[in-house]
Each structure stands twice: as structure tokens, then as C-alpha cells.
């Protein structure tokens, strides 16, 4: 995968990676993992809320 970043974002990433004594790729990998974990939880919560709110309709559709 190739990721194109604006120069200012790339500079900030490089600075952070340097400060953490890690590679920019490691910093991005960790950020992507965190983002996916948080979004999965958020989407799951929304799906659960919708299922509860529409439980009766879902039950009728399943008949």
C-alpha cells in the first residue's frame, strides 16, 4: 500500500516518529490499528442501538 501525505503532515509524522524513536511506518501502523479498533467499537454500538430501537420491526420481518 502506498500512502500519500501532504508535506506538512509528513513532516509532523517524521518529527513524531523521531521523538518516539520509531519509524514513521510504525507510527502509522499503530494509528491505523487504533482507528480501526475505535471505529469497530463505534459502529458496533450504533448497530446495537439500532437493533434495540427497532427490535419489534426486526422480529416481524423475521416471521
**Is pLDDT larger for residue 60 or for residue 46?**
46
The closest alpha carbon to 50, from 38, 42, 5, belongs to 42
Please check the confidence at residue 63 and state whether its pLDDT lies above 80: no
Q: Please tell me the pTM assigned to this model.
A: 0.75
* DSSP H/E element including 41: helix 24-53
Q: What interhelical angle do 7-20 and 24-53 show, nearest 10?
A: 100
Please check the confidence at residue 1 and state whether its pLDDT lies above 80: yes
- Mean pLDDT value across residues 6-31: 98
Amino acid at each position: 500500500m502506498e500512502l500519500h501525505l501532504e508535506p506538512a503532515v509528513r513532516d509532523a509524522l517524521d518529527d513524531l516518529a523521531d521523538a518516539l524513536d520509531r519509524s514513521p511506518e510504525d507510527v502509522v501502523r499503530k494509528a491505523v490499528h487504533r482507528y480501526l479498533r475505535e471505529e469497530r467499537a463505534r459502529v458496533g454500538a450504533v448497530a446495537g442501538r439500532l437493533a434495540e430501537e427497532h427490535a419489534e420491526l426486526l422480529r416481524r420481518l423475521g416471521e
